[in-house]
Chain A
Amino acid sequence: MADSPSWDLLADLQLLLRFHFMQNAFVVGTLVAVLAGAVGYFVVLRGQSFAAHMLSQVGFPGAAAAVFLHVPPLVGLAAFCSAGALGVGVLGRRLDAGNRLESAVVGSILAFSLGLGLLFFRLYAGSVQAVYAFLFGTILGISDRDVAATAVTTVVCLVVLAAIARPLVFASVDPDVADARGVPVRAISIAFLLLAALAVAVTVQIVGTLLIFALLVAPAACALQLTARPTRGLALTVVLSLLFTWTGLAVAYFTIYPVGFFITTLAFGVYVVIRSAKAMSGRSVGEPA
Chain B
Amino acid sequence: MLRWVAEPDASSRAHPVIEEAAGLERAGVSLGGRWIWRGVDLTVTTGEFVAILGPNGAGKSTLLKALLGVVPLTEGDARIFGKPVRRGNDEVGYLPQRRRFDPDLRIRAVDLVRLGLDGARWGVPLPSWMARSRAKSDQVDAVIHLVGAQAYAHRPIGELSGGEQQRVLIAQALVSGARMLALDEPLDSLDLSNQQSISALVRDICQQQGVTVLLVAHDVNPILPFIDRVVYAANGQLVSGRPEEVIRTETLSRLYGAPVEVLRTSDGRVVVVGQHEPVTYHAHPDDI
Per the bound structure, the CA–CA distance linking A174 and B111 in Å amounts to 11
Query: Is B88 in contact with A182, judged by CB distance below 8 angstroms?
Result: yes
Interface size class of B (residues with CB under 8 A): 35 or more
Q: Mark B163-191, 1 if CB is under 8 A from A, else 0.
A: 00000000011001000000000000000
Within 8 Å by CB of B70, from A162, A180, A230, lies: A180
B68 at the interface (CB under 8 A from A): yes
Residues of B within 8 A of A230 (CB): 107, 111
Query: Is A167 in contact with B107, judged by CB distance below 8 angstroms?
Result: no
Q: Which residue of A lies closest to B159 (CB)?
A: A228
Q: Which residue of A lies closest to B110 (CB)?
A: A229
Query: Is A170 in contact with B115, judged by CB distance below 8 angstroms?
Result: yes
Per the bound structure, the CA–CA distance linking A166 and B120 in Å amounts to 7
B96 at the interface (CB under 8 A from A): yes
Query: Is B112 in contact with A173, judged by CB distance below 8 angstroms?
Result: yes
Query: Is B156 in contact with A166, judged by CB distance below 8 angstroms?
Result: no
Instruction: Tell me whether A165 and B87 are in contact in the complex, defined as CB-CB below 8 angstroms, given that A174-B112, A228-B156 are known contacts.
Output: no
A2 at the interface (CB under 8 A from B): no
Query: Is B120 in contact with A167, judged by CB distance below 8 angstroms?
Result: yes
Query: Is B107 in contact with A179, judged by CB distance below 8 angstroms?
Result: no
Closest CB-CB distance, B149 to chain A, in whole Å? 15
Q: Mark B120-135, 1 if CB is under 8 A from A, else 0.
A: 1111110000000000
Per the bound structure, the CA–CA distance linking A76 and B172 in Å amounts to 44
Q: Mark A257-278, 1 if CB is under 8 A from B, else 0.
A: 0000000000000000000000
Instruction: Tell me whether A163 and B122 are in contact in the complex, defined as CB-CB below 8 angstroms, given that A45-B107, A228-B108 are known contacts.
Output: yes
B105 at the interface (CB under 8 A from A): yes
Query: Is B105 in contact with A166, judged by CB distance below 8 angstroms?
Result: no
Which residues 165-218 of A have a CB within 8 angstroms of B? 165-167, 169-170, 173-174, 176-183
Per the bound structure, the CA–CA distance linking A179 and B71 in Å amounts to 11
Per the bound structure, the CA–CA distance linking A183 and B122 in Å amounts to 9
B162 at the interface (CB under 8 A from A): no
B232 at the interface (CB under 8 A from A): no
Query: Is A164 in contact with B122, judged by CB distance below 8 angstroms?
Result: yes
Instruction: Tell me whether A180 and B119 are in contact in the complex, defined as CB-CB below 8 angstroms, given that A166-B125, A228-B107, A228-B108 are known contacts.
Output: no
Within 8 Å by CB of B116, from A169, A179, A181, A229, lies: A181
B245 at the interface (CB under 8 A from A): no
Within 8 Å by CB of B105, from A164, A173, A179, A229, lies: A173
Query: Is B125 in contact with A182, judged by CB distance below 8 angstroms?
Result: no
Number of interface residues of A (CB under 8 A): 28
A110 at the interface (CB under 8 A from B): no
B98 at the interface (CB under 8 A from A): yes
Residues of B within 8 A of A79 (CB): none
Query: Is B121 in contact with A167, judged by CB distance below 8 angstroms?
Result: yes
Instruction: Tell me whether A177 and B123 are in contact in the complex, defined as CB-CB below 8 angstroms, given that A169-B115, A170-B115, A182-B88 are known contacts.
Output: no
Closest CB-CB distance, B246 to chain A, in whole Å? 27
Closest CB-CB distance, B188 to chain A, in whole Å? 15
Closest CB-CB distance, B97 to chain A, in whole Å? 8
Query: Is B116 in contact with A177, judged by CB distance below 8 angstroms?
Result: yes
A224 at the interface (CB under 8 A from B): yes
Query: Is B120 in contact with A165, judged by CB distance below 8 angstroms?
Result: no
B37 at the interface (CB under 8 A from A): no
Q: Which residue of A lies closest to B184 (CB)?
A: A176
For A163, A164, A177, A229, the residue with the greatest tally of chain B CB atoms inside 10 Å of its CB is A177
Query: Is A174 in contact with B115, judged by CB distance below 8 angstroms?
Result: yes
Query: Is A170 in contact with B120, judged by CB distance below 8 angstroms?
Result: yes
B145 at the interface (CB under 8 A from A): no
A127 at the interface (CB under 8 A from B): no
Residues of A within 8 A of B123 (CB): 162-163, 165-166
For A167, A225, A228, A230, the residue with the greatest tally of chain B CB atoms inside 10 Å of its CB is A228
Residues of A within 8 A of B68 (CB): 180
Per the bound structure, the CA–CA distance linking A35 and B156 in Å amounts to 26
Q: Mark A38-52, 1 if CB is under 8 A from B, else 0.
A: 000000010100000
Given contacts A162-B124, A228-B156, 10 further A-B contacts (CB under 8 A): A166-B122, A166-B123, A169-B107, A174-B172, A180-B68, A181-B176, A182-B120, A228-B111, A228-B155, A229-B108
Q: List 18 A-B contacts (CB under 8 A).
A: A47-B102, A165-B124, A166-B115, A166-B120, A166-B122, A167-B120, A169-B107, A169-B111, A169-B115, A177-B95, A180-B65, A180-B69, A180-B88, A180-B92, A228-B107, A229-B108, A230-B111, A231-B125
Instruction: List residues of B whose CB falls within 8 A of some A CB.
Output: 65, 68-70, 87-88, 92, 94-96, 98, 101-102, 105-108, 111-112, 115-116, 118-125, 155-157, 172-173, 176
- The 5 A-B pairs with the shortest beta carbon distances in the complex, nearest first, are A182-B88, A170-B119, A176-B96, A228-B156, A224-B106
